[in-house]
Amino acid sequence: MMRNYKYTLLFILTIILFSCSKEDSTSDSTLKMSNFETTINPDDLVGEWKLSAMTADTLVDLNKDGAGDKNLLKESSCFNDMKVIFNHDRTFSTTNARLDFNGGTTNTEFVCVKNRIDFGTWNIEGTDLILNINIDGTIYTERKPLNYNTTTFAFNVSKAESKAYVSDPGNTSASKITILSLEYTRI
């Protein structure tokens, strides 16, 4: 039960796998960086959002084609159905996916585990998204600063945070990721 929670929470935080570090950011980014002087109106998040980018701070070769990419969506179709729906009554549902790092016949292949749906309540405080996630009857609270504009929002998950949710054996192409940014686009 706790292991499922950890994997689910990582991808909810994926709301619910991240922006590149400042040195790696590109000038064509459509996200506006939130700051503490700005607030997000909770009504602006109401609606359906689909995962549009899952960006690592290093190249990752999940499909083992010899050409890595920082956007994990280009390396695996596992995350294609991930989305979140924020309701006016401050409830949400999210469809999640994760890569099992110990899959396949040799326990070194990635296996996709997808279409888990989680529910909870949400709110915005300033630029922080607060999620109260109900998993097997236990409520877990997470707070993530958002990068937001009217069509996208994103948040980061650090390697230290993800260690609590993912057990990476340490010898995969994803092992070098230190920051992962999840970006969602309004549908």
What is the pLDDT at residue 110?
75
Domains in the chain: ranges and CATH: 2-21+40-186 (2.40.128.280)
pLDDT, tens only, 92-124: 999 988 887 766 666 667 788 888 899 999 999
Here the tokens at position 82 are 């991930």
More confident call, 74 vs 63: 74
What is the pLDDT at residue 119?
95
For residue 29, pLDDT beyond 60: no
**Region 7-13: what's the mean pLDDT?**
42
CA atoms of 113 and 99, how far apart (whole Å): 6
Longest CA–CA span in the chain (Å) reads 51
High-pLDDT (> 70) share of the chain, % = 73
Amino acid present at 26? T
pLDDT, tens only, 137-180: 889 899 999 999 999 999 998 887 765 445 567 777 778 888 89
